[in-house]
Amino acid sequence: MKKITYNYVFYAILVAILVVYTYATVMTFDPAFNQNVNHYIGDEVWYPTAAYNILKLIFHVTPPMYFPYSNEANIQTYINPEHPPLGKYFMAIFILIMGYSPLSWRIPSWIIGDLIIVTAFFLTRRIMGVGIVGNVAAVVSSAIIALDPMLWLMHGIALLDIYVSFFGFLSLYLLLTKRIFWASVTLGLAFASKEPAFFLVLPFLFYLGELTKSVKVRALYSIGIPIFVYALASTPIILYFNGVDGWIHNSVLFMLGWDAENGHISLTATSQISTPWDWFLNVHPFYMGHNFYANVNPAIMLLWLATTPIAFLFKDARLITMTMWAWTEWLSFLMIYALGNHTLFSFYVTDFAPVVDTYVVVSLFFLVENLKSLNRMFVKSGKK
């Protein structure tokens, strides 16, 4: 009975965090309460318009426009083929229901922001247990994510990174809870959100190797199902480009070329560009306009760097998978930089920020919980 009682106490704390977070989100990012956000913010000039155009050009539905198109060239026919479509579908659903306006295209990001906090709570508790320590750690993880300045901004506006962030994070949670099929499906949804998720196949394969030695099973769940889900989500785009061949040339190859080259912004805009190693110290946070900056939390990033050895010290596959989940995405940006794309931005940290925030909390609580066993490890090594 006591266990059940204190579990509900921590659930109540989680709900309180969500209520405060949602309230602050609405007050900050809803134009009805803050006229400063009654504009396109950052790359909202591209994605909501692409969502509307997908409705108009692919599904032949034209919801009312309560807000004008952005001023970018050819924007009235642009469907953003250089990125996967899932995030734009979510925006399109709310645009279809509510009409085209900043409120409608931001609401799905707000929902996802809350879901990231919930996922962090249950992922932390899965690793640390459902006792007092596990519940405290879970609340701390949720609070750290709620206070993360990058996730705060990116969940409040309508960019694609928050979608890959959530679905990648959810896939990790489902994988560590051994729900392999759904972990595979959500990995595919991350693929369909934005291309940095493609590299998550590697840590997914690693942990799947802890659960099964079957090569066929590993190939099916880490590659086969995610690719199928990505292709299924892309079907309307495939049809728009008159088949797979047109889609590959106009979307997939365009996407790969776009990612590997400069052109996202002028190389002279040095105050906007930041390298993957800059992210650890919040160098050149990207300015979204209207007094919004995509700030990284340097303390958490440096703690992630410092706590990564904990996973390997204890040889815990769950912790190793968590930290490598984030490192894999960071390394993917490093690879893109090496390939020649030197126009990278701080807000790319969004893609793996929930994993970093949660890993830092879990690894520190795990270290404290296992200090005795760590001491025994050092004593044994000293005797040898």
Q: What local confidence, expressed as pLDDT, does residue 148 receive? A: 98
Task: Say if residues 150 and 294 touch (Cβ distance below 8 Å).
Answer: yes
Helix, strand, coil abundance in the chain, percent, nearest 5:
70, 0, 25
Instruction: Supply φ then ψ for residue 287, to 5 degrees.
Output: -90, 120
Q: Which long-range contacts (CB under 8 A, 24 or more apart) does 18-21 make?
A: 18/114, 18/117, 18/118, 20/146, 21/113, 21/114, 21/117, 21/146
How far is the C-alpha of 378 from the C-alpha of 325, rounded, in Å?
28
Task: Say if residues 168 and 352 touch (Cβ distance below 8 Å).
Answer: yes
Q: What local confidence, expressed as pLDDT, does residue 383 receive? A: 53
Q: What local confidence, expressed as pLDDT, does residue 25 receive? A: 98
- Partners of residue 287 on adjacent β-strands: 293
Task: Say if residues 347 and 196 touch (Cβ distance below 8 Å).
Answer: no
How far is the C-alpha of 270 from the C-alpha of 358, rounded, in Å?
31
Query: Domain-by-domain residue ranges, the chain?
Result: 2-383
Q: What local confidence, expressed as pLDDT, does residue 330 receive? A: 97
How far is the C-alpha of 244 from the C-alpha of 50, rounded, in Å?
20
Q: What local confidence, expressed as pLDDT, does residue 61 receive? A: 97
CB atoms within 10 A of CB 282: 20
Residue written as token pair 């409040």: 156
Q: What local confidence, expressed as pLDDT, does residue 53 receive? A: 97
DSSP class of residue 281 equals G
DSSP H or E segment with residue 375:
helix 371-383
CB atoms within 10 A of CB 377: 13
Phi-psi category of residue 158: left, alpha or beta, with phi > 0 → left and psi -120 to 50 → alpha: beta
Which tokens sit at 40?
Answer: 């396109």
Task: Say if residues 173 and 115 touch (Cβ distance below 8 Å).
Answer: no
Q: What local confidence, expressed as pLDDT, does residue 1 receive? A: 45
Within 212-268, residue ranges assigned H as helices are: 215-219, 225-233, 235-240, 244-247, 253-259
Helix (H, G, I), strand (E, B) or coil at 192: coil
How far is the C-alpha of 106 from the C-alpha of 40, rounded, in Å?
11
pLDDT in tens, the chain (384 residues): 455 677 889 999 999 999 999 999 999 999 999 999 999 999 999 999 999 999 999 999 999 999 999 999 999 999 999 999 999 999 999 999 999 999 999 999 999 999 999 999 999 999 999 889 999 999 999 999 999 999 999 999 999 999 999 999 999 999 999 999 999 999 999 999 999 999 999 999 999 999 999 999 999 999 999 999 999 999 999 999 999 998 998 888 878 777 777 666 667 678 889 999 999 999 999 999 999 999 999 999 999 999 999 999 999 999 999 999 999 999 999 999 999 888 899 999 999 999 999 999 999 999 998 886 666 655 555 555
Cβ-Cβ contacts under 8 Å for 207 (sequence gap 6 or more)? 175, 176, 317, 318, 321
